[in-house]
Amino acid sequence: MSIISIIGSGDMAAAIAGLAVKAGHAIEVAARDTAKTRTLVDGLGAGATAAGFGAVPAGDMVILAVPYSAVLDVVKQYGEALAGKLLIDITNPIKSDFTGFLTPENSFGAQEIAKVAPANAVIVKAFNTQNARVLAAGPVEGRQLDVFIAGDDAQAKARVSAFIKSLGLRPMDAGKLFMAWTLEHACMLWLGLMTHSVKHGNFSIGVNLPG
């Protein structure tokens, strides 16, 4: 299996890394908080290693698992260390009070990341509609969780889809990278459902295919 690099050490980083290690991938974790990074890596076991924050990631696939409020600065700090990498953007540029988005008008999070990433880095949106706790638990009663993806590079999306399948999840291609705008709004929908209807976060948004 391939090396997957993860920048970040929060709940989503832990959820994805946990599934990836179980699937046999080698995981590299880097974050500003070295103590938290070490705790996460130690918990993952032999399949995971810690890397220096800002160093060139060992994996060609790099998961940006930091809050949107920090991700642009993180990508700028890494700079050319991310050149040629496949960057998986899992962020949601949503205001803390859920009243709107942090992105400029007529833009979206993945596009803002693309603006500051090296020109030859490839961006694929994925995982942003999943709750970390639900994701970490994996399939329930044989029902796969859906992971929506969007990107302009077909080969990159194929690689991300293969990675998602290896985790026991179902990739659902939503189209070109501009569809990340819709996926980021889908997270707002999830938050609205959690707040006003479901009343808890133990659910996911997915596709039902009758028959």
Domains of the chain as residue ranges with CATH: 3-198 (3.40.50.720)
| pTM of the predicted structure, to 2 decimals | 0.96
Looking at residue 76, its pLDDT comes to 98
Compute the CA torsion angle 83, 27, 139, 71 (nearest 10 deg): -40
100-120 pLDDT tens trace: 999 999 999 999 999 999 999
Given the structure tokens 């690099």, which residue do they identify?
Answer: 5
- The number of angstroms, rounded, from the C-alpha of 152 to the middle of its chain's C-alpha atoms is 17
pLDDT band at 12 (very low <50, low <70, confident <90, very high): very high
pLDDT band at 1 (very low <50, low <70, confident <90, very high): low
41-100 pLDDT tens trace: 999 999 999 999 999 999 999 999 999 999 999 999 999 999 999 999 999 999 999 999
Looking at residue 142, its pLDDT comes to 77
What are the tokens at 150?
């969007």
Whether 9 and 34 have beta carbons less than 8 Å apart is answered as no
Q: What is the per-residue DSSP string for the chain? A: --EEEEE--SHHHHHHHHHHHHTT-EEEEE-S-HHHHHHHHHHH-TTEEE--TTSPPSSSEEEE-S-HHHHHHHHHHHGGGGTT-EEEE----B-TTSSSBSSPTT--HHHHHHHHS-TT-EEEE-STTS-HHHHHH--BTTBPPEEEEEES-HHHHHHHHHHHHHTT-EEEE--SGGGHHHHHHHHHHHHHHIIIII-SS----------
